[in-house]
Structure 1
Amino acid sequence: MKKINIIGSGFSSLAAACYLAKKGYNVTLFEKNKTIGGRARQLEKDGFTFDIGPTWYWMPDVFERFFADFNKKPSDYYLLEKLNPAYSVYFGKNDFITIEDTLDKIKKAFENEEKGSASKLQRFIDKAQSNYDIAIKNLVYNPGESPFELITPITIKKLNQFFSNIKSDVRKNFKNKKLIQILEFPVLFLGAKPSDTPSFYNFMNYADFGLGTFHPKKGMYQVILGIKSLAEELGVTIKTENAVEKIIVEKGKATGIVCNGEKHFADITISGADYHHTETLLDKGYRQYSETYWEKKTFAPSSLLFYIGFNKKLKNVNHHTLFFDVDFDIHAEAIYDTPKWPENPLFYASFPSVTDINAAPNGKEAGIFLIPLAPGLKDTKDLREHYFNKIITRFEALTSQEVKKSIILKESFCVNDFIKDYNSYKGNAYGMANTLLQTAFLRPKLKSKRVKNLFFTGQLTVPGPGVPPSLISGKLVADLVTKYHKL
């Protein structure tokens, strides 16, 4: 039986482990941290439970497809609830738009803001759904080995959508600034500015308005635990507190890894760890991409996150709440164009305890606050505190309530932590952005060109950033392994 070592235990690594174990390989996963999940770990403290990383459950069909590959369903491992409202967006004090759980309700909300926008939204989402069907049922399940993967009779008809962008597309149809911001928001999950994201990626709007937003009971970490259970049922071995120090290469072939000074030999090595970091585990001659290559790439943002326990229930907030009361373009400039700490940041807040009694003790509220940032910024305790005060002051004003005195728990996570905990390049939070020149075959490869039997998976390779793409990435690398290494 061929032996496979997998580095990391995030969504892509766990998915790859499941597929390969099912095919009959002997799979061992090595995780540097005490708990599995990669960026999707959980923080439990003083009766509060926070998802450290992803908090949005979108594209449920991708999860269903994953579990169906093993004759399972998500409900075999965790319970899902469709959120209503999905989220709300604040533009000023008592000035917000609520996005509910069906397109018909969302169309009414749009029509209230801009006359005639309901029919425009229907046409926009129809187009987005068409793109979603092409992308999710077909394109993203290609391994990015060749440009010809993108060329099909259907995609040729949509070629112009790869050379126009989301920003111009949205503004052609809608004039109301609030509606424009809501439609441009899902692009943030792809890690680039709307002006740098091909129009074809408007399929994210269908994921948002067409499919809706869900919450796994007890949090996103239940999805990790579900996939872990599946992996173990299939015979995967998981070793935590095993940081990989080196990938062993003999005569141009990966033959194992070194963890905590101990060698673990295998026929094949797959890394779901940060791609740039993984290449530093190789001697220079075996690396595919130079430091200059990584420097020139557009990375998705990092984040400053706060995990807050309040000693009371909060008013005027939903499970997911966005705060767009400042200029989006100026904040985006500080992330992508001239990287610096933003003067007035947009921010996002999640209150899982609004939906889930498991997230906080009775009568209390759990809050997660996130500010998107440029990767590689200087990260200090004073800066974190300064920005927390900025957003919590605005939060109080926008939601018409006092909360500062009700904080009984506060933890933060930022650039330095992304580097320390995940070996993340420049402390990025979401991987590499999906711009036109970083799409499909133009992303870092799943299979090493320099080292035989070495493969990669995760957010920096295909198909891209986000939880559903990471699950898909795990499937793609497993398929490539079996293509090149028959049992």
Structure 2
Amino acid sequence: MSADRRRVVVVGGGVAGLATSALLAADGWEVELLEQRDELGGRAGSWAKDGFRFDTGPSWYLMPEVFDHFYRLLGTSAAEQLDLEVLDPGYRVYFEGEERPLETRVAREDNKAVFESFEPGAGAQLDAYLDQAGETYQVALRHFLYTSFERVGDVLNADVLRRAPQLLPLLLRSLKSHVHSRFSDRRLQQVLGYPAVFLGGSPERIPALYHLMSSMDLDDGVLYPQGGFAAFVDTLVSLATELGVTIRTGATVTSIDTVALPGAKPWSRRKAAVCGVAYRGQDGAEQRVAADVVVGAADLHHLETRLLPSDLQTYPESWWRRRDPGPGAVLVYLGVTGELPELAHHTMFFTEDWETNFDGVLGDRRGHGKYVPDPASSYVCRPSATDASVAPEGAENLFVLVPVPADVDLGRGGLDGQGDPAVERVADAAIAQVASWAGIPDLAERIVVRRTVGPGDFAGDLNAWSGTMLGPGHRLSQSAFFRASNVSKKVEGLLYAGSSTLPGIGLPMCLISAELVLKRLRGDRVGGMVATPLVARRELETVGAGRGATS
């Protein structure tokens, strides 16, 4: 190894941390990743019991071009790394008080027919809606997602200025207003508004610009990686290790170490530089690792307020008190005997008054407190509909998600109904809702494995700010250049990746955030994706021989 090879320590072994580690190793850095848990993947973890294997978090494979681009940078492809299957139906939706569910299909023309069957004229409206959504998405890929907004010119270029008459109204009105101006049927409004949940918000609180999300599932279809998202995480671990990344689990970082910058100007905010991190190993002993750069890929609130002294915090506690954490969640992992054809791979249950749902989860705009909605809208993933490896033969695997306030006082989950009472009540209500609305009256009696997760688990296990499920919600004041930056303003050599920072929430965004760290360290301010692969495939197959380690 070259003596002048620069060293980076990545804090956090979730998707953003693993992706950042792989990209930086491929770009010539000596990389060590520290993860406090025994398992890698962060929110995209895995849990198994009695022959059932559950993805513990992400379950939607959207923005496939982002995944494929990431893999191409490392000399491979999504097709090589993952066994992807197109879902048809993409998802099924049950509506409160309605017997007829809605199912989305793979092709746009089929989805136009579905919309038309619910509202005359809606098919043509969907055509125009998706045309605009697709164009907006491409603009976002070129100019907004793969940039750290270091300069005004990163945004105000000729292409964006030419499109300003179309883009500005999408920033200044809500997604709800945008959808309602085109579709009258409540059910269609909800289908086009639900992507707000992926972004930690509600249709009324996020900009209409995010209608671009609909182009991903109604135009491009929904994919699923066989083996679940644990298989995706496995590819990240494998690639990082092949590239020489040293991965240490059971390593809890206790501080980010800094040294004063000699000759720092009195008016300069940046007065220190990173020199490494301190961590507590599995044996309880404190250790230190020297580094030229530290990338914080864990929860930003934890990194800033717990691992740095107050005078070096770019985002102190006072900053977070003015921010929206987005929703929390109760997650329920269920192993069920027998088949459940009433549920698609993805199934959603929408209450009639879902604006009241959002007010409960996110807080009433009139200042009323947050509360757990009753009834609550919910989401169910049945991966066993597509993947035989996640459940024993003759049984089904269900992942149930109920948005609730990001409030650690709701408590933690547990096995077999032994979690905190508030969490278990939400789980019981969700199971009853699925049984009633989908016509599975004996669902509760068929459950043989049950585990719940609450906001307290997100906070306790993942250091998630306020017990948030996803990260800070994407209201306008927390999107794009208004979102927390991916570089410390006070500590040189300290960068950030993951859902708390640019560009935002979700697995594709975590991959992009890793690339933004790479671009920062390269001094690359050009908008858009890095064009040149970092490593050729034939090099990748040999570069890691004898170098990578996991402990």
Fold conserved between structures, TM > 0.5? yes
Match among 421, 441, 452 for residue 481 of structure 2: 441
Return the offset for 1:161: 1.6
Match of 1:386 in 2: 425
The answer to whether 1:116 aligns with 2:142 is no
Return the offset for 1:137: 3.1
Match among 81, 84, 91 for residue 85 of structure 2: 81
Name the CA distance, whole Å, in 1 between partners of 2:479 and 2:427: 35
Name the CA distance, whole Å, in 2 between partners of 1:369 and 1:423: 22
Return the offset for 1:400: 1.3
Return the offset for 1:140: 0.5
Which whole-Å deviations, capped at 9, do the CAs of 1:35-63 have from their partners, x for residues lacking one?
Answer: 11111000111100110010111111110
Match among 263, 268, 274 for residue 299 of structure 2: 274
- For structure 2, which runs of at least 5 residues remain unmatched after alignment? 261-271, 281-285, 364-368, 412-419, 525-551
Match of 2:183 in 1: 174
Match among 221, 235, 239 for residue 244 of structure 2: 235
Name the CA distance, whole Å, in 2 between partners of 1:212 and 1:187: 18
Return the offset for 1:472: 0.1
Match of 2:156 in 1: 151
Name the CA distance, whole Å, in 2 between partners of 1:155 and 1:450: 31
Match of 1:201 in 2: 210
Please tell me whether the aligned partners of residues 408 and 459 of structure 2 are also in contact (alpha carbons under 8 angstroms): no
Match among 357, 360, 380 for residue 391 of structure 2: 360
Amino acid at match of 1:10: G
Match among 12, 18, 24 for residue 28 of structure 2: 24
Answer with 49-58 or 136-145: which moved more.
136-145
TM-score (norm 1): 0.97
Name the CA distance, whole Å, in 2 between partners of 1:346 and 1:326: 9
The answer to whether 1:313 aligns with 2:353 is no
Return the offset for 1:437: 1.5
Which whole-Å deviations, capped at 9, do the CAs of 1:236-266 have from their partners, x for residues lacking one?
Answer: 1111111111111111111111111111111
Match of 1:420 in 2: 460
Name the CA distance, whole Å, in 2 between partners of 1:459 and 1:303: 16
The answer to whether 1:255 aligns with 2:275 is yes
Please tell me whether the aligned partners of residues 408 and 456 of structure 2 are also in contact (alpha carbons under 8 angstroms): no
Name the CA distance, whole Å, in 2 between partners of 1:163 and 1:34: 44
Amino acid at match of 2:132: K
The answer to whether 1:460 aligns with 2:500 is yes
Please tell me whether the aligned partners of residues 141 and 472 of structure 1 are also in contact (alpha carbons under 8 angstroms): yes
Q: Classify the secondary structure of the residue corresponding to 2:492.
A: coil
Q: Classify the secondary structure of the residue corresponding to 1:220.
A: helix
Match of 1:183 in 2: 192
Please tell me whether the aligned partners of residues 146 and 441 of structure 1 are also in contact (alpha carbons under 8 angstroms): no
Return the offset for 1:71: 2.1
Name the CA distance, whole Å, in 2 between partners of 1:9 and 1:77: 19
Please tell me whether the aligned partners of residues 59 and 207 of structure 1 are also in contact (alpha carbons under 8 angstroms): yes
- For structure 1, which runs of at least 5 residues remain unmatched after alignment? none
Match of 1:431 in 2: 471
Name the CA distance, whole Å, in 2 between partners of 1:409 and 1:468: 31
Name the CA distance, whole Å, in 2 between partners of 1:412 and 1:379: 12
Match of 2:515 in 1: 475
Name the CA distance, whole Å, in 1 between partners of 2:392 and 2:300: 39
Return the offset for 1:146: 3.6
Which whole-Å deviations, capped at 9, do the CAs of 1:7-48 have from their partners, x for residues lacking one?
Answer: 011121112111111111100110011111111000111100
The answer to whether 1:62 aligns with 2:66 is yes
Name the CA distance, whole Å, in 1 between partners of 2:374 and 2:175: 25
Match among 141, 147, 161 for residue 146 of structure 2: 141
Name the CA distance, whole Å, in 2 between partners of 1:206 and 1:282: 41
Match of 2:48 in 1: 44
Q: Classify the secondary structure of the residue corresponding to 2:326.
A: coil
Work out the number of aligned pairs and report it: 484
Match of 2:319 in 1: 293
Which whole-Å deviations, capped at 9, do the CAs of 1:387-436 have from their partners, x for residues lacking one?
Answer: 12212112111111221111100001111110111100001111111221
Return the offset for 1:79: 0.6
Q: Classify the secondary structure of the residue corresponding to 1:188.
A: helix
Q: Classify the secondary structure of the residue corresponding to 1:460.
A: coil
Return the offset for 1:211: 1.4
Name the CA distance, whole Å, in 2 between partners of 1:475 and 1:458: 11
Please tell me whether the aligned partners of residues 375 and 428 of structure 1 are also in contact (alpha carbons under 8 angstroms): yes
TM-score (norm 2): 0.86
Which whole-Å deviations, capped at 9, do the CAs of 1:171-199 have from their partners, x for residues lacking one?
Answer: 00000000000000112111112122112
Name the CA distance, whole Å, in 2 between partners of 1:149 and 1:414: 39
Name the CA distance, whole Å, in 2 between partners of 1:434 and 1:211: 23
Return the offset for 1:210: 1.3
The answer to whether 1:219 aligns with 2:259 is no
Name the CA distance, whole Å, in 1 between partners of 2:135 and 2:511: 22
Q: Classify the secondary structure of the residue corresponding to 1:137.
A: helix
Return the offset for 1:377: 4.6
Please tell me whether the aligned partners of residues 340 and 377 of structure 1 are also in contact (alpha carbons under 8 angstroms): no
Return the offset for 1:147: 4.2
Return the offset for 1:127: 0.2
Please tell me whether the aligned partners of residues 351 and 375 of structure 2 are also in contact (alpha carbons under 8 angstroms): no
Please tell me whether the aligned partners of residues 103 and 209 of structure 1 are also in contact (alpha carbons under 8 angstroms): yes
Name the CA distance, whole Å, in 2 between partners of 1:146 and 1:168: 31
Return the offset for 1:296: 1.1
Name the CA distance, whole Å, in 2 between partners of 1:278 and 1:27: 19
Name the CA distance, whole Å, in 2 between partners of 1:440 and 1:429: 20
Return the offset for 1:76: 2.1
Which whole-Å deviations, capped at 9, do the CAs of 1:339-378 have from their partners, x for residues lacking one?
Answer: 2222221000011001100010000001011001121252
Amino acid at match of 1:391: A
Q: Classify the secondary structure of the residue corresponding to 2:428.
A: helix
Matched-pair identity in %: 30
Match of 2:131 in 1: 126
Amino acid at match of 2:302: H
Name the CA distance, whole Å, in 2 between partners of 1:103 and 1:169: 20
Match among 435, 441, 444 for residue 396 of structure 1: 435
More helix by share: 1
Q: Classify the secondary structure of the residue corresponding to 2:224.
A: strand
Which whole-Å deviations, capped at 9, do the CAs of 1:416-472 have from their partners, x for residues lacking one?
Answer: 110111100001111111221112221111111111111111111100111101100
Return the offset for 1:225: 0.7
Amino acid at match of 2:90: A
Match of 2:19 in 1: 15
Please tell me whether the aligned partners of residues 144 and 442 of structure 1 are also in contact (alpha carbons under 8 angstroms): no
Please tell me whether the aligned partners of residues 147 and 441 of structure 1 are also in contact (alpha carbons under 8 angstroms): no
Please tell me whether the aligned partners of residues 319 and 351 of structure 1 are also in contact (alpha carbons under 8 angstroms): yes
Please tell me whether the aligned partners of residues 44 and 57 of structure 2 are also in contact (alpha carbons under 8 angstroms): yes
